[in-house]
């Protein structure tokens, strides 16, 4: 039996305290299950933003999507996670990734490292967080035991193995990236290979992880072919048909998009969808259409 859908919005733009509270309340009123904050320089700092979101809302879970592990010391991160989990009343979901923008590391005066080194650091971070937060003597202690749910994001084989061992939620971006942070969409067939590879690694798990996809485009009421043509630069050599079947591109009527999401759940296993802040309102009718399905 398929998991029920969950829906999140990833907040990206800074603002005043009043503006932030209003955005979070709107997300809650529209029915989002999770409010997320990214971890990029030039965007809101994740942990204080999540504490403020908790004060402005009652129901949604609150998460990082995703922390750039290279910017964090594991011991200091454990303190931030435990404190934030307490201050949000146990609503925190911790998302972690290797980081993919070299310029951010340069600005922070921190090493970027090779892909292998970045995954190594993430693995050490996850291991240390598991050890530290599960320690009954650790102060502060998280509100959730043994730790908040862990989301790991990535597409590479080592990342998928790591997620299969540790993650409660495994997130796929549907895209590859360069060190500059530029994204290019994977072919749907390649993304399917990645999700199947993960499922193979995770086959022995007692409790399957939730699978997340980051949706880049939501165009309700739009001409699907015209939308695909506009996205051609991001899809590189993807055909229009491949763009239209891609789970990060949702275009058409509300019913059409709901049908696409159900088809993606069947093909890839995605039941947890994240949309970007600019799509906060436009995606709301799709959530309503999908509730209970």
In the chain, what are the domain boundaries?
Answer: 6-216+260-290
Residue 153 has what pLDDT?
Answer: 93
Residue 180's pLDDT is 53
Question: The pTM is what?
Answer: 0.95
Determine the pLDDT at residue 177: 63
- Per the rule left: phi > 0, alpha: psi between -120 and 50, beta: everything else, 136 is alpha
Q: What is the DSSP letter of 173?
A: -
State the pLDDT at residue 231: 77
Is 6-216+260-290 a CATH 2.40.30.10 domain?
A: no
d(CA 277, CA 26): 11
Rounded (to 5) percent helix, strand, coil in the chain: 45, 20, 35
Residues of the chain predicted below pLDDT 70: 1, 177-183, 233-236
Instruction: Give the pLDDT of residue 194.
Output: 97
Residue 84: the pLDDT is 98
Please give the structure tokens belonging to residue 163. Answer: 């997620």
Cα distance between residue 213 and residue 276, in whole Å: 11
User: For residue 1, what pLDDT is reported?
Assistant: 60
Asked whether the CA dihedral 212, 217, 219, 224 is positive or negative, the reply is: negative
pLDDT value of residue 40: 94
pLDDT at res. 223: 86
Cis peptide before 15 (omega within 30 of 0): no
């Amino acid at each position: 039996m398929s998991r029920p859908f969950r829906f999140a919005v990833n907040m990206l733009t800074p603002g005043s305290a009043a503006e932030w509270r209003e955005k979070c309340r709107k997300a809650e009123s529209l029915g989002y299950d999770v409010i997320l904050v990214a971890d990029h320089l030039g965007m809101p700092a994740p942990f204080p933003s999540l504490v403020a979101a908790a004060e402005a809302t009652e129901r949604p879970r609150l998460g990082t999507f995703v922390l750039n592990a290279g910017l964090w010391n594991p011991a200091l991160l454990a303190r931030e996670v435990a404190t934030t989990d307490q201050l949000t009343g146990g609503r925190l979901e911790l998302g972690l990734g290797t980081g993919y923008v070299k310029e951010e590391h340069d600005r922070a005066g921190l090493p970027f490292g090779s892909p292998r080194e970045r995954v190594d650091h993430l693995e050490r971070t996850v291991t240390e967080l598991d050890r530290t937060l599960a320690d009954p003597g650790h102060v502060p202690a998280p509100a959730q035991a043994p730790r908040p749910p862990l989301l790991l994001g990535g597409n590479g084989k080592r990342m998928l193995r790591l997620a299969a061992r540790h993650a409660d939620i495994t997130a796929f971006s549907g895209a590859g990236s360069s060190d500059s942070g530029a994204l290019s969409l994977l072919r749907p067939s390649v993304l399917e290979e990645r999700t199947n590879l993960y499922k193979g690694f995770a086959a022995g798990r007692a409790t399957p992880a939730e699978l997340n996809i980051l949706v880049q485009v939501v165009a309700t009421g739009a001409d699907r072919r015209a939308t695909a043509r506009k996205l051609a630069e991001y899809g590189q050599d993807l055909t229009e048909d491949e763009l239209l079947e891609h789970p990060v591109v949702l275009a058409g009527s509300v019913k059409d998009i709901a049908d696409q999401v159900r088809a993606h759940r069947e093909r890839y296993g995605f039941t947890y969808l994240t949309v970007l802040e600019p799509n906060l309102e436009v995606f709301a009718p799709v959530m309503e259409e999908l509730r209970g399905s």
